[in-house]
Amino acid sequence: MTRLSLHGLRKTYPGTGQAAVHGIDLTVESGSLTALLGPSGCGKTTTMKLIAGLIAPDAGEVRLDASPITALPPERRGVTMVFQDPLLFPHQTIAQNIGFGLRMRGLPPARIAESVAAMLSRVRLDGLGDRRPAALSGGQQQRAALARALVLQPRVLLLDEPLSNLDPGLRDEMRQLIRSLQQETGITTIVVTHDQAEAVALADQIVLILEGRLAQQGPPDALYRRPAALAVARFFGGVNFLPGRSQGGLFHSAVGPLTLPPGAPEGDHVLTLRPEALRLGPGPNPRTARITSVTFLGTQTRVGLAVDGTALQALTTPDLASALVPGGEVTVSLPPEALWLLPPEATLSDPGQPIR
Amino acid sequence: MTDRTRLALLLAPALLVLGGLFLTGLGLTLLRSFRYMPALGLTDPDLSAYVAILTAPGFLTSLTLSLWIATTSTLIAATLALATALLLRQTFPGRAIISFLVQLNLTIPHIVGAIGILYLFSQSGSFARLAHAAGLIATPAQFPILTQDPTGIGIILLYVWKELPFITLILLANMQALGDDHESVARSLGASRWQAFRHVLLPMLMPGLLAASTLVFAFAFGAYEVPLILGAHAPKALPVLAWQASTDTDLATRPEAMAMAVVIALIGVALLALYARALAKGGSGAR
């Protein structure tokens, strides 16, 4: 069980002039499954490579428990990284691939064969050990790559977009496999992903990186319901944003005063409300809205609304939306417990996490 | 126009060259090696030319010399090319210049290079005179015999110099296509820098390295002009023997020249077949 921490980690690629990673401070608890979430090009893979030691940081430190590993070469860190592509060695069989790390450690062949056989069956590749990588499907290759890393029982396991190259059906299977293997082994694991739904479904903890900076860290529902900044809310599919002022438990905005939940901060803020929390029908904080659009999305229907000229969106069930037509009017309510206040300007700072 | 006719038309020039020049040439060579030359009144094919060359006193020595030259220059060139490619893969100041210098001699013909080697390394050459002027040797004649020597040092020198950039270029292209992700994976799985090279990069480069080396070997084994210029009077490399026999004023030596050409070609083909088998066995998983 190992706790991983990053301290002021910074990296600028030569010639780009712009930092790929801007001084990240981050702690990943021992035995947790943490998702490193962020849009493409936000510095996630760079952060992983810095942890794995495949590139050197310009500044900052990587620690496992209390000991710094920044100066250690990748092979001596006890950190193993699985890449987005399986990158199996084409000249070796699947069994040889999985046994690679153990061979490099100089373990006796009998021990290696034993570990490899157990691992093959654990990732459901029994009987495929003698095949070459090219003879396996994409999903099988990805599982072999996972097995090749797990067999080493690393202190920290890094998975870079392990699902993004898989078909949707296989993605679910792989997600469950990662989850159950992680729970079984208790290896501190970081999964990189750009897909917020995947991060929410997979991880205990989410670390959201935006533009090379840590935007927010916490359990999935905290980022979902209590975003620290506008950018975080947007990344998690937030669409309803009302600028205004909080005073004495009321939020004064373009749609009139709204009752806030108890303990809401005072002053200028941006109020946000998740589209699925905006209720169609009477209730607390009721408003009359004009329907601007109705979009059927399958399991849900998106309803575009205008309240006093302010655009809002609601996600509801197709049943409830069946009577709605664009141009019509409907009563909507904004439940106080679903209202959340964001800092007014587009800052990414999270009060709990100092950002350099 | 159907696809088939279009295809036939597109292939026609290549087939014409291959069929008209290569196959006809090969056929004539074979016929003559069997002593079938109606123009000289030889209409009774037999194997006597082959018997004559294979039992000639110098044949085995020449064959050994040719194999020695080809093997040694291929091994040295391939090893140095691997080192050069690994170096040029890094980014460092001056990389562009070194890369340019390495590729420069691809454009220089073998024969020009051979003459250059002669000027530089022979006992009357520049290095001998420099060594003499510097007082390292008493007379230029004490300079070690590096050209036109019986062990083919000058020839090997030329081939290494000339083929190194060729193999390097192929390896660099290979490395670029592979990227460094496989090595990163290996390092992350606990392989040291050397282990990642030895167990991952090198095996993945092997097909390209073998292919390039085979071409170099086939050339060094079969070409006559370099050993003609840089080789000793005796023993002569096999292709030189063939060349001399085929340009002899005595037309009766033609069949022997042709037989020698056939033997050189056969050895070349046999080695290619061995290489293909090694490739199929060792690198079946490699792309």
Q: In this structure, what CATH number is given to the domain that contains residue B234?
A: 1.10.3720.10
Predicted complex: ipTM over 0.90: no
- A275 by DSSP, 3-state: which? coil
CB contact under 8 Å between A90 and B195, yes or no, is no
CB contact under 8 Å between B284 and A79, yes or no, is no
- Domain identity same for A264 and A309: yes
**Exposure of A310 in the CB half-sphere (CA atoms within 13 A):** 16
Residue A333 lies in a domain: yes
Residue A354 lies in a domain: no
Q: Residue B282: its pLDDT value, please?
A: 55
Average pLDDT for residues A152-162, to the nearest whole number?
93
Of chain A, the percentage scoring pLDDT greater than 70 comes to 97
Nearest by CB to A152, which of B184, B190, B193?
Answer: B190
- Domain identity same for A153 and A259: no
- Domain identity same for A47 and A173: yes
**pLDDT tens across A199-253, in order?**
988 999 999 988 878 889 999 988 888 899 988 998 888 899 999 999 988 999 9
Residue A235 lies in a domain: no
Residue B2 lies in a domain: no
- Domain identity same for A53 and A109: yes
Q: How far is B220 from chain A (nearest CA, A)?
A: 30
CA–CA dist A114, A91 (Å, integer)? 22
Q: Residue B281: its pLDDT value, please?
A: 64
- Domain identity same for A180 and A51: yes
CA–CA dist A46, A262 (Å, integer)? 41
Residue B150 contacts A where some CB pair is shorter than 8 Å: no
- Helix intervals (H) in chain B: 3-16, 24-33, 48-55, 59-89, 95-104, 110-121, 126-133, 153-178, 181-188, 193-196, 202-222, 225-230, 238-246, 254-282
- Domain identity same for A20 and A98: yes
- How many domains, in total, are found in chain A? 2
- Domain identity same for A249 and A155: no
- Domain identity same for A180 and A62: yes
CB within 8 Å of chain B, chain A residues 53-112: 53-54, 73-75, 79-81, 83, 85, 87, 89-93, 100-101, 103-105
Lowest mean pLDDT among A80-84, A270-274, B272-276: B272-276
Amino acid of residue B113 = G
Residue among A253, A288, A296, A275 at smallest CA distance from A338: A275
Nearest by CB to B184, which of A54, A73, A101?
Answer: A54
Residue A278: CATH number of its domain: 2.40.50.100
Q: Residue A68: its pLDDT value, please?
A: 92
Q: Residue B284: its pLDDT value, please?
A: 44
Q: Which domain holds residue A326?
A: 242-342
Angle at A187 between CA A215 and CA A57, to 5 degrees: 50
Q: Residue B1: its pLDDT value, please?
A: 66
Give yes or no for residue A153 having a pLDDT over 80.
yes
Mark which of A225, A253, A287 sits at the end of a domain: A225
Contacts of A49 in chain B (CB under 8 A): 184
CB contact under 8 Å between B283 and A149, yes or no, is no
Residue A134: CATH number of its domain: 3.40.50.300
Residue A349 lies in a domain: no
CB contact under 8 Å between A73 and B191, yes or no, is no
pLDDT level of residue A351 (50, 70, 90 thresholds):
very low
Residue among B111, B98, B81 at smallest CA distance from B209: B81
Residue A89 lies in a domain: yes
CA–CA dist A40, B85 (Å, integer)? 33
- How many domains, in total, are found in chain B? 1
- Domain identity same for A34 and A66: yes
Q: Residue A354: its pLDDT value, please?
A: 35
Residue B251 lies in a domain: yes
Q: Chain B residue with minimal CA distance to A54?
A: B184
CB contact under 8 Å between A83 and B185, yes or no, is yes
Q: Which domain holds residue B54?
A: 46-282
- B180 by DSSP, 3-state: which? coil
Residue among B64, B69, B61 at smallest CA distance from B230: B69
Residue B256 lies in a domain: yes
Q: Which residues pair with A305 in a beta bridge?
A: A291, A312
CB contact under 8 Å between B193 and A132, yes or no, is no
- Domain identity same for A49 and A181: yes
- Domain identity same for A216 and A273: no
CB contact under 8 Å between B204 and A91, yes or no, is yes
What does DSSP assign to residue A153? -
- Domain identity same for A75 and A207: yes
The pLDDT tens digits along chain B (287 residues) read: 688 888 888 888 888 888 888 888 888 888 888 888 887 777 888 888 888 888 888 888 999 999 999 999 999 999 999 999 999 888 888 888 888 888 888 888 888 888 888 888 888 888 888 888 888 888 888 888 888 888 889 999 999 999 999 999 999 999 999 989 999 999 999 999 999 999 999 999 998 898 899 889 989 998 888 998 888 888 888 899 888 888 888 877 888 888 988 998 898 888 878 877 776 665 444 43
pLDDT level of residue A350 (50, 70, 90 thresholds):
very low
Residue B258 lies in a domain: yes
